[in-house]
Amino acid sequence: MQIITIFQMIYGVPSFCLMCFFFILIFIDRNNLSNPFYRLVQIDIFVNITCYINTWMSIRLENFEIGMLILIFIQKNIPGFLTVSKLCIGLYFHMQNITGLSLVVYRFTSVHFINSEKHWGRYYLLVPIFGFVYSFLVISPWWIFGNFMAKVDLVDGKLHTTVNPKSLFMHSTINYLFSLFYFLLIILVGVWTTITLQSRGKKSGSIRNQHFVQKLTKVIVCNSVLMSGNLLLLVVLSVFYILFPMQSAVSKFKWIVITFTSDMVTLAMPYLLLAFDSNIRRILRIEKRKHLFLDGVRLRTVTHQAET
């Protein structure tokens, strides 16, 4: 596990720094990044930053001797913190899907409704509020009844983790259903948006319009596959745990896959922005400013509909 965690650090730490950079950049350059879409991106990045930090508290640090000393210090001074940190894995699972879905829904509404941008500009803060309340309510049975999947205690100066098999089994079963729901929702909304864009591209007959639509489609497909791939893996993991709940090898395999699939979603946003977002690419001078003309209307190369 230690070798795997070190490998994850090689790509994880630079990606984490990139997330922090883009989070600050959106604050600083509001002239070029004023679209409500970037507020949603900023919310998504913030959730991912805190999620990544939590994975170190709840999973990764315990693989290192110095990490164990840090965890013991935290548990000694803030009793119950590590138990809550492990419980927050489920909280972030739902939060990340809500913020990810908000980006998909934003593209959908931008394509289908003319005034959607105004509404997003006014009410984008409802996304994190709803996401937190919704995620908290979903895992509330574990909070309210103290039926934690894993409880961490400090015994004789050492950390002792008690796993509740029944709670873990129930959580895995419920996560299976939620994973399936999120997976289908992301796919359906993404496909619907893509079909609409392709239909409009065919009607216009413009080569530039077709290139524009192709790029929008690539962004939507890429993001949908990324999010849905992670959810599909979680579905497989949930089924795998239900079939083999008590085998330690399966448990280790589960945590390895969870950290990798979590990183897929948590660390991907900076690279999606660098690859597809023309505003970001122009600010960083990766590409020059270009324009497209759709039915006589001047548009940026990649509008907020295409931005990651």
Determine the Cα–Cα distance for residues 305 and 30; give it in Å rounded to an integer.
18
The whole-number average pLDDT for the span 198-213 is 66
CA distances from 213 to 195, 220, 262, 284 (A): 10, 11, 30, 24
The token pair at 146 is 């103290």
The half-sphere exposure of 183 on its side-chain side, counting CA atoms within 13 A, is: 15
Assign 291 a pLDDT band (cuts: 50, 70, 90).
Answer: very low
> What CATH superfamily is the domain 1-289?
Rhodopsin 7-helix transmembrane proteins (1.20.1070.10)
Q: Of 68-82, 109-123, 158-172, where does the model show the most confidence?
A: 68-82
pLDDT of residue 3: 86
Assign 69 a pLDDT band (cuts: 50, 70, 90).
Answer: very high
Determine the Cα–Cα distance for residues 35 and 39; give it in Å rounded to an integer.
7
Q: Of 22-31, 186-195, 295-304, where does the model show the most confidence?
A: 22-31
The whole-number average pLDDT for the span 237-263 is 67
Domain ranges of the chain: 1-289
- Which is more confidently placed, 42 or 150? 42
Q: Among 7-21, 69-83, 161-175, name the one with the lowest average pLDDT.
A: 161-175
Q: Sign of the C-alpha dihedral, residues 51, 15, 31, 118?
A: negative
Residue with tokens 């009410």: 123
Q: Among residues 188, 190, 228, 211, which one has the least CA distance to residue 107? A: 190
The whole-model pTM stands at 0.85
Residue with tokens 């089994």: 169
pLDDT of residue 209: 58
Pairing mode, if any, of strands 297-300 and 291-294?
Answer: antiparallel
Assign 228 a pLDDT band (cuts: 50, 70, 90).
Answer: low
Q: Sign of the C-alpha dihedral, residues 227, 229, 231, 234?
A: negative
**245 pLDDT higher than 50:** yes
CA 300 from centroid of its chain's CA atoms? 27
The whole-number average pLDDT for the span 150-173 is 81
CA 104 from centroid of its chain's CA atoms? 12
Assign 13 a pLDDT band (cuts: 50, 70, 90).
Answer: very high
Determine the Cα–Cα distance for residues 70 and 62; give it in Å rounded to an integer.
9
**19 pLDDT higher than 90:** yes
pLDDT of residue 207: 63
**299 pLDDT higher than 60:** no
**294 pLDDT higher than 80:** no
Determine the Cα–Cα distance for residues 191 and 229; give it in Å rounded to an integer.
15
The whole-number average pLDDT for the span 234-262 is 66
Ranges of beta strands (E only) in 72-157 are 150-155
The whole-number average pLDDT for the span 239-267 is 70
Across the chain, what does the average pLDDT equal?
A: 80
